[in-house]
């Protein structure tokens, strides 16, 4: 796994842990919506989030797309927080 991608995955896991244990339904829905998984139960979010990581075994291209998308999403969130 590229080093920058592993760091991004760690950030997302930390964020997911904070949101999922917050008890704030709006915060939880916002997080799930950011990843296009707003219609699944919170218990299934971790499973959905690990699929791209597993995909690198079958398709390095899919995994690289996951890393690129994750990095772009984190940059967009960081940028929006500065506004």
Which residue blocks in 1-83 are alpha helix, DSSP H?
3-20, 25-34, 42-55, 60-82
Q: What is the pLDDT of residue 5?
A: 82
* Predicted confidence (pLDDT) per residue in 10-63, tens digit: 887 887 788 888 888 888 888 888 778 888 887 787 777 777 677 667 777 877
| pLDDT attached to residue 9 | 81
Q: What is the dihedral of CA 37, 43, 65, 4, to 10 degrees?
A: 130
- Taking the C-alpha atoms of residue 30 and residue 16, their distance in angstroms, rounded to an integer, is 11
Which pLDDT belongs to residue 66?
80
Give Rg (Cα) of the chain: 13
Report pLDDT for 78.
Answer: 57
């Amino acid at each position: 796994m590229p080093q920058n991608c592993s760091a991004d995955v760690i950030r997302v896991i930390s964020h997911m842990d904070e949101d999922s244990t917050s008890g704030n339904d709006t915060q939880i829905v916002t997080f799930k919506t950011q990843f296009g998984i707003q219609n699944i139960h919170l218990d299934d979010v971790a499973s959905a989030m690990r699929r791209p990581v597993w995909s690198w075994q079958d398709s390095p291209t899919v995994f690289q797309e996951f890393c690129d998308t994750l990095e772009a999403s984190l940059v967009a969130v960081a940028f929006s927080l500065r506004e």
